[in-house]
Amino acid sequence: MPKERPLWRGPAFRLCLLSAALFLCLQLGMRRSWCPEEKPRERAVAAGRAPPPPRGAEQRPGAAAALGGRRRVTYVRSGRRGSAAPACCALQPPGGRRRKTVRWHVELQPWASPTPSLNYEALRFLKYISTSQISCEHMNLNSLKGYSETSKKPWSICLDERFSLIHRIRSKQCRLYSLGLGSDDNQFEVGMANSGCEVHRFDPSIKSAHIQEGRHLWYHRLSIDWRDPNPAIAAHKLHSNTKKLGTILNEFGHQKIDVLKADVESAEWKILENLILEDVVEQIGQLVFEVHIHWPGFEVSGNDSTVVRYWYSLLRELELKDFRLFYTYKDLSKPQMFLKKKAFNASSCYTLSWVNTRWK
């Protein structure tokens, strides 16, 4: 029986191998004839002299893949033909707020002593909030037209001629924001409204969303917080009426606040931190805050010396932004407590007023 020849020695196999080689050569030749400029373009890109993309590439986002798939090119689709700016980046209206770099924490001041000590921190802090940094000769609100002094607390604002508040009150252009939690003492707000100021009082305990009382006084069922609620978190839906002050300003279309008054029962430290970090404080002319020091405050953590250092650092941040303390009041009617201790002859509550010396 004749020996069978291997298949790979047969003429049919050789013919198939020759055909495959010829087909491969034809494919390479056709590719070079279709894309003669591919290598020159790559050399130009490497030299920083890339020629313009083929006509129509802006309308065909997949055009880069058609050129061999070696480069990923992204084209921004503009709005209407001839528009001055892309649709994604609308121009800010004149006088709009400039976007600023976000800060995540305040700069802590050095410790008051070589080693952390509550005694040194407390003495430094209490001296700071008890000492005026600038004099204000006119704080008597009775001089304002329509104001009657019946307020239970000493809410003091500076009405010296060198600052703009008194001039804005006279021209009926001042604006007051008042942050509170169900207090019945609203005589300060009523008096400022009677003097011609536009007054907005934010209190989550009122029954209606918005109430207008007289020509210049509004009540809003809103609580000012140091963060906006996240609608994706179920627990935050219970606080849908809680917003940051910067968010309220944007929603109301207000660029400036002449006076910000706050009596928010220990939330003032985190609210003040938010105003500083987001530069909202630069939009405020005067601050009138009731601060509570009988405990650290909402979401303020750390040991006692760390907490007092944080308080002090916040107030120094105000000073760096040209705010000066002109009025301080120690409330002796409140418990004399400092971080849950009867110490340092401190009251649990102080009323402090600052003026922005750069305010125009």
Task: Give domain status of residue 334, yes or no.
Answer: yes
Q: Which pLDDT tens digit goes with each residue over 232-279?
A: 554 545 546 889 999 999 999 999 999 999 999 899 999 999 999 999
Distance CA 194, CA 201 (A): 14
Task: Give domain status of residue 80, yes or no.
Answer: no
> Based on the structure, what is the number of domains in the chain?
1
Distance CA 222, CA 209 (A): 8
Question: Does the pLDDT value for residue 338 go beyond 80?
Answer: yes
Q: Is 88 exposed, middle or buried (0-12, 13-18, 19+ CB in 10 A)?
A: exposed
Distance CA 101, CA 251 (A): 21
The whole-number pLDDT of residue 282 equals: 95
Backbone phi and psi for residue 318, each to the nearest 5 degrees, phi listed first = -60, -40
Q: Strands (DSSP E) along the chain, which ranges?
A: 175-179, 198-202, 210-213, 217-220, 223-225, 242-244, 257-262, 284-292, 323-330, 349-356
Q: Categorize the per-residue pLDDT at 291 as very low, low, confident or very high, splitting at 50, 70 and 90.
A: very high
Distance CA 165, CA 162 (A): 9
The whole-number pLDDT of residue 240 equals: 60
Question: Does the pLDDT value for residue 91 go beyond 50?
Answer: no
Task: Give domain status of residue 49, yes or no.
Answer: no
Task: Give domain status of residue 63, yes or no.
Answer: no
Q: Find out whether 351 and 331 touch, Cβ atoms under 8 Å.
A: yes
Amino acid at 90: A
**247 — alpha (psi -120 to 50), left (phi > 0) or beta?**
alpha
Question: Does the pLDDT value for residue 67 go beyond 50?
Answer: no
Task: Give domain status of residue 16, yes or no.
Answer: no
Distance CA 16, CA 19 (A): 5
Is the pTM value of this prediction over 0.75? no
Q: Find out whether 323 and 137 touch, Cβ atoms under 8 Å.
A: no
The whole-number pLDDT of residue 48 equals: 46
For residue 186, the domain's CATH number is 3.40.50
Q: Which of 55-69, 123-137, 233-247, 326-340 has the lowest mean pLDDT?
A: 55-69
Q: Give the C-alpha distances (Å, rounded to integers) separating 44 from 38, 48, 68, 74.
A: 10, 6, 16, 19
The whole-number pLDDT of residue 72 equals: 37
Structural domain span for residue 347:
122-356
Q: Which pLDDT tens digit goes with each residue over 177-224?
A: 999 887 668 889 999 999 999 999 999 888 888 999 989 999 999 989
Task: Give domain status of residue 86, yes or no.
Answer: no
